[in-house]
Every structure is written in C-alpha cells, then in structure tokens.
C-alpha cells in the first residue's frame, strides 16, 4: 500500500546503524560516511556527540538537497540505506520479541522438571519509535519492520499504547558480527 511518511530536520535511526569505528563493508552510518535514508535523502554524518560517560547521544548530519529518492540528481551511489522515523511524528511503541519457550529441543527427552528447561529469555520487551501510520493498525494487520522482521498488533494494545509482536525474524549479518 501507499502512505505518507513525514520527514523532518531530526530523525531517529537504529542505534546499530551507526559505528564509531566501522569495519570494512559496514555500509551503514559512520562519521564521514554517506547513506540514504529510505525513500528520502542521502545524508553524511559530520559529527558524533557524546555525553560525559562517552556514550554517543546525537549524530549531526548534512543532507544532500538534490538527492531526494525518486528525484535524485546528485549522481552519487550509496551502498547503505537506513530506515528512520521523524522525531516530531514518531509514535512510541512496545515491541515483544518471542523466542523458544524451552532451552531444549525435545522436552520429552529432557531430564528433570520441565520448569528447569524454560528459557528465561523467551520474551524480550523493548521500546522504540514508529511512523505515524501504525496508529491505524488492527490486530489483523501484518507489518514488516525493515531489517527486523514481521509483526502484528497485540490484542493488549490500546490507541495510547501500541504493542507489536514479532511473528517472524529476519537475518541480520551485522547482528551476528556484533554477537547479538
């Protein structure tokens, strides 16, 4: 389907889409590197701002004005494309990522009480931001979160608290490299 995606001066990107000292073939964002914001502009990271503890809290970037997706006349080819959401329009959401309920493949063959084999990490709940079109989602809606997987609206969700459950995950090469 088609939808309007608002673009603004400030956008959120995934934390893992930036590396301060990237390895070769890391086609996401780093200081001095360029990427395309999906369906938007090419940006270059000019500076990474850190807090007192040394954590990166902000990236200052420039956009190439003549690089809007669909009307790009910049002539620049980028290797990486990032998903993003406009800060001013971002919807806070809860994401529930389910994994195997048990740590063993064959519970019937496992020794001991079944409770001893429960995977304590079978549910990971994280918070994030999404584009405003997701407030129109229903429990029947299937949504792909780019590079994350497929999700559906949880029956616990309310108009004021959107909750999405991952139904199918996707492979992430850099997630493996980072040990995720």
pLDDT tens digit sequence for 128-148 = 999 999 999 999 999 999 888
Q: Tell me, what's the pLDDT at 102?
A: 93
Fold of 90-177: Ribosomal Protein L25; Chain P (2.40.240)
Give the start-to-end residue ranges of the domains of the chain.
11-87, 90-177
Same fold, 11-87 and 90-177: yes
Q: How far is CA 17 from CA 45, 71, 143, 144, in A?
A: 12, 25, 21, 18
Question: Phi-psi bin for 75: left (phi > 0), alpha (psi -120 to 50), beta?
Answer: left
> 18 with 26: CB under 8 angstroms?
no
> 48 with 33: CB under 8 angstroms?
no
CA distance 112 to 103: 13
> 93 with 127: CB under 8 angstroms?
yes
- The string of pLDDT tens digits covering residues 154-169 is 999 999 999 999 999 8
Q: Tell me, what's the pLDDT at 178?
A: 54
Q: Tell me, what's the pLDDT at 169?
A: 86
The β-bridge relationship of strands 91-98 and 34-37 is unpaired
Element (H, E) at 22: none
- The string of pLDDT tens digits covering residues 110-129 is 899 999 999 999 999 999 99
pTM of the model: 0.81
Burial class (CB in 10 A: 0-12, 13-18, 19+), 142: exposed
Laid out side by side, the sheet with 34-37 consists of 56-63, 42-50, 34-37, 81-82
- The string of pLDDT tens digits covering residues 65-80 is 999 999 999 999 999 9
Which overall architecture, per CATH, does domain 11-87 show?
A: Beta Barrel (2.40)
pLDDT above 70 for 7 = yes
């Amino acid at each position: 389907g088609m939808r309007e995606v608002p673009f603004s001066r400030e956008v959120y990107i995934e934390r893992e889409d930036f590396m301060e000292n990237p390895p070769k073939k890391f086609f996401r964002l780093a200081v001095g590197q360029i990427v395309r914001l999906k369906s938007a502009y090419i940006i270059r990271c000019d500076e990474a701002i850190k807090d007192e503890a040394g954590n990166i809290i902000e990236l200052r970037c420039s956009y190439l004005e003549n690089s809007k997706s669909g009307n790009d006349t910049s002539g620049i080819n980028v290797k990486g494309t990032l998903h993003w959401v406009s800060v001013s329009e971002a919807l806070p959401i809860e994401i529930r990522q389910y994994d195997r309920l048990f740590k063993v493949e064959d519970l019937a063959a496992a020794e001991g009480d079944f409770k001893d084999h429960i995977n304590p990490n079978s549910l990971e709940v994280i918070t994030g931001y999404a584009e405003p079109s997701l407030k129109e989602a229903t429990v029947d809606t299937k949504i792909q979160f780019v590079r994350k997987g497929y999700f559906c609206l949880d029956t616990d969700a309310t108009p004021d608290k959107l909750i999405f459950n991952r139904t199918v995950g996707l492979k992430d090469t850099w997630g493996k490299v980072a040990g995720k």
